[in-house]
Amino acid sequence: MITNKELTVEKYIEEKRKQTKDPICAYIYDLKQLRDHATAIKESLPSFCRLYYAVKANSDQPLLNTLDPIVDGFEVASEGEINKVAAETEKPMIFGGPGKKDREIEAAIHSNVEYLNVESFHELNRINYIAKQKNITVPILIRVNLSVNISDSHLRMAGVPSQFGVDEREVPAFIEAALAAEFVSIEGFHFHAMSNNLDAEAHVRFAKVCIEKSKSWREQFGLSATIVDLGGGIGINYWNPGDSFEWGTLASGIAGLEKEAEDLTLIIEIGRYMTAECGSYITEVLDIKENHDQHFAVVRGGSHHLRLPAAWKMSHPFRIYPVEEWHYPFERPEVLQAAVTVAGELCTPNDVLVRKEYVEQLRAGDMIVFEYAGAYAWTISHHEFLSHPYPEIVYLKDTTQ
């Protein structure tokens, strides 16, 4: 843990270059930035909302510890995530995912899991069966796959055929089945429908639909359920970072729904939007070359560390940190005022982080700093492929607390 509050990405690079001749490769997380951002999100929400952190975005323990005093709870999707959260906090959890194992359901029952999302009739039967063996009533949220798509987000889990949730047309029958199940209690509905949505107004409309649907089913079946879990899905504009998600529009729009929500509690599970900006991935340029009239920069690292740009076939936001020293006695390769593709060190043409982006100058030995790398970056990457060494993980500790 780095505790010098004055340390920046640039200072880290300079200090590291004094310590080693090996190519530099690291993740740097700014915990103060994370704390300040999460606090601003929390303070902007109306009182009838609860803020949960979606652990899948980044489950690193220092990030969880930083968020623990701020958020109301954590959204988890595996027994492993349950254990990571439970090891450090007593905050409540919501457990979701379309493929829960029996042992995970049992782990949820015996931990601080507040609600289990239920995704199918079979899962409902399994949860009820396991709860019966333990003579305990399990609070559940019914995950709904809405019939209509709400946004044009990058990925969609509802409004389209998917493995997620209960088809909206089957929800009435599902509620009847859940009411007949002796060992579960319907506490509300879960609607996570999108990923990386960039349209704040669409997200407000989505929240309104979720409230309306929940109230309708509650009235139809005489339910006391008060939870409306919107899920997450709020995005980062990797393609144009200057045009960011309008969080203020979402916060004020949800506040405007308070009267309509009546006694309902809205839960928002923020993952990517919470942590992406606090992380940077730094890697050194090993080579510059030209192939079939296109320029390539090969870096120490790649998609085995930062998989997102390869998975989404996009150019990840980056900036160049120039290094003037050149210790070899021969020509330094470079590219000037041209488009360059930044590729990693793996033996596959899919190992690409930047696709034909213009640079003024890029040389072997320069550093590339990939911004917005605090979510769905290291944790979703195939670390063991080709057995390259891991990047260093550095946490800039918030010493102002």
Q: How far apart are the first and last CA of the chain?
A: 15
Q: Which residues of 91-108 are buried (b: 16+ CB within 10 A; e: fewer)?
A: bbbbbbbeebeeebbebb
Where are the strands (E) in 254-366, listed by range?
265-270, 279-291, 294-299, 318-321, 334-343, 352-363
Closest CA to 368 of 390, 380, 388, 352: 352
Which residues touch 136 (CB under 8 Å, ≥6 apart)?
Answer: 109, 183
Contact 200/253 with Cβ under 8 angstroms? yes
Place of tokens 């995912």: 97
Structure tokens at 88: 């450090």
- List Cα–Cα distances, 199 to 131, 155, 256, 267, 286, in angstroms: 40, 13, 17, 19, 39
Q: What are phi and psi of 358, to 5 degrees?
A: -70, 135
Q: Please report where in the chains the tokens 């900036």 appear, as a residue.
A: 319
Could you give phi then psi for residue 312, rounded to 5 degrees?
A: -100, 0
Torsion region of 166: left, alpha or beta (phi above 0 gives left; psi -120 to 50 gives alpha)? beta
Q: Which two tokens stand for residue 235?
A: 């995005």
**Is-contact 75 54, C-beta < 8 A?**
yes
The residue written with tokens 């607390």 in the block is 401
Distance CA 75, CA 89 (A): 13
Q: The tokens 């793996």 sit on which residue?
A: 346
Cross-strand bridge partners of residue 27 = 281, 393
Catalytic residue positions, numbered: 347
DSSP per-residue codes, 377-398? SGGGS-TTGGGPPPPEEEEE--
